[in-house]
Structure 1
């Protein structure tokens, strides 16, 4: 690797302003910092070393090897908070490892959560192994030896939390072996993990989420609450964590007219009374929250130029309303105009 490229990598990973060097971009100088890395424009012979260097500064130090003769293709989007780190990682086939010697030389003192989005992977650790598929997440202590391999490439989200913070959230319970969650399956713990995955992805993409959780100013706190739910186990969570999972579940089910407070409570793993209380403390009961989110969804569809010929009745149904007349009344009460007027205003605004 040329010293020129290595110096550029170090400047970018350390957050010393923007750099025009191939592969790197750094934004932000406050408590939240965004970093981007890509192998595009980097000589093939330097890619693995720069990829290792970026990860060592931006996420986790790794010993990385490619699995074929093709040049490494990789990109990473990182967001740093005071305690947590979020990342979205894409790459071609590779093996990443932290063995005992490497860990002694490169201690990291973090717990990592890997969310598989695309590509199957093998995960070897201590005296065991896991085969991870898209839709699964694993929590593991990054200072315990492991090897992960991606035969057909990878697309994943990653979150790291300092071990001391994790231990505080878990009640002092150390993470001695990996914990695997099928975050697309229906158990409450899996739904907490799904809510965490959506929080990480939404925050990195800059897309707002219900309750403002994708706001960088709130994302770290919400993530901490969800990690606490996962670390402590069922029945030992905090109200903000349950609220975040409930909002995520509601968002996924807005189109179901049968969605109820009882269903949401069961999905989250608490009683209906408990759910009603935490929503009320956040500003409104769950039934009104669901109605509000449905109306916002319908309004967004009505304002979408690509949906201008979609019948209002179909939009109402897509937002979970079984009755178009009730939808129209509720919509006018909420926004002061009937649905067709909102659509007309959006069309006029788009043509001005």
Structure 2
């Protein structure tokens, strides 16, 4: 990650104001009060993994508030996950509060009011993702914000471990690897949130979100099986095919289209991966469950506006 701001070298009376101007300009419009204005110190690093942005902030003790007055900003289309790497961070939203320690994380929706508090000498990783990238996996996230995700579950441990690795690896991956890591990251966050939902959130719209998550997970698990069909996926998620399609209709999808979209995406990743140039187009297509090359080529072109061979050629030209 690259350092984009530090209070080092800035006069003590100006440090906090300079810090807030960077936060408001580059991330989110908030109000904040430092425990000690003249003793305030902070550093901010930024990076990304695919379309997911990362911010790593080290700071003195600080209280933050985001009110209705701050709504209507570009950040409304985003969702934030906060995880301390050192110190603690308190988050409060939707009547729920969590004091996060290293290895714990929580989801915050910048569209809604929320509060936060950073402890002295805290180091907090913020993962900033497009709202739709998580909601397509879980549905509406209102009931999930402000809840602590701990390492008490396997899902929480996996997601926290993955998050902790991101600062050191950001900027070191090629574009294909970044896209794959982005998908895995979002899937793990969704799995961890879904586990919390299972234990604490009532059914209704949240029940639909759970089923949606199970459908996505079942497809990912069996994607390479050429015999995968909609009935198998629905059964693995514990619902009927009709009910599964009704839930996916919220995303303007069906089980069949979702299976195909995921297979095409995996094929495109492989075709653009420089480490897989030794594999033929047909080998890649068969490996991800396609059994008819004509059908594969037609569907690939409909999805991406080019043939698989053109996709590979363009990837080679890009380097």
When normalised by structure 1's length, the TM-score is: 0.50
Deviation digits for residues 169-212 of structure 1 (CA, Å, limit 9, x no counterpart) = 21x233333231113x4x12212322331342332385x8xxx9
Match of 1:194 among 144, 160, 165: 160
Q: CA deviation at 1:153?
A: 3.3
Q: CA deviation at 1:81?
A: 5.1
The structure with the larger Rg is 1
Contact 2:105/2:160 (CA < 8 Å) preserved in 1?
no
Equivalenced residue count is 204
Tell me the secondary structure at the aligned position of residue 136 of structure 1: coil
CA–CA distance in structure 2, aligned partners of residues 240 and 200 of structure 1: 26
After superposition, the Cα gap between the structure-2 partners of 1:156 and 1:123, relative to the gap in structure 1 and judged at 3 Å, is same
User: Which 4+ residue blocks in structure 1 deviate beyond 6 angstroms?
Assistant: 239-242
1:174 paired with 2:136, answer: no
Match of 2:104 among 136, 150, 158: 136
Tell me the secondary structure at the aligned position of residue 44 of structure 1: coil
CA–CA distance in structure 1, aligned partners of residues 67 and 155 of structure 2: 30
Q: CA deviation at 1:141?
A: 1.0
Q: Which moved more, 1:152-161 or 1:75-84?
A: 75-84
When normalised by structure 2's length, the TM-score is: 0.54
CA–CA distance in structure 1, aligned partners of residues 34 and 175 of structure 2: 36
Uncovered stretches (5+) of structure 2, i.e. residues with no partner: 199-212, 222-265, 267-319
1:229 paired with 2:191, answer: yes
After superposition, the Cα gap between the structure-2 partners of 1:204 and 1:62, relative to the gap in structure 1 and judged at 3 Å, is farther
1:56 paired with 2:24, answer: yes
Uncovered stretches (5+) of structure 1, i.e. residues with no partner: 1-32, 243-281, 283-352
The structure showing larger relative contact order (alpha-carbon pairs under 8 Å, at least 6 residues apart) is: 2
Tell me the secondary structure at the aligned position of residue 69 of structure 2: helix
Tell me the secondary structure at the aligned position of residue 161 of structure 1: strand
After superposition, the Cα gap between the structure-2 partners of 1:124 and 1:174, relative to the gap in structure 1 and judged at 3 Å, is closer
Contact 2:16/2:40 (CA < 8 Å) preserved in 1?
yes
Contact 2:94/2:146 (CA < 8 Å) preserved in 1?
no
Match of 2:125 among 148, 157, 160: 157
After superposition, the Cα gap between the structure-2 partners of 1:188 and 1:102, relative to the gap in structure 1 and judged at 3 Å, is same
Tell me the secondary structure at the aligned position of residue 135 of structure 1: coil
CA–CA distance in structure 1, aligned partners of residues 96 and 137 of structure 2: 26
How do residues 238-277 of structure 1 correspond to structure 2 at under 5 angstroms? 238=217
After superposition, the Cα gap between the structure-2 partners of 1:85 and 1:178, relative to the gap in structure 1 and judged at 3 Å, is same
RMSD (Å) for aligned C-alpha atoms: 3.3
Contact 1:108/1:143 (CA < 8 Å) preserved in 2?
yes
CA–CA distance in structure 1, aligned partners of residues 60 and 170 of structure 2: 21
Tell me the secondary structure at the aligned position of residue 13 of structure 2: helix
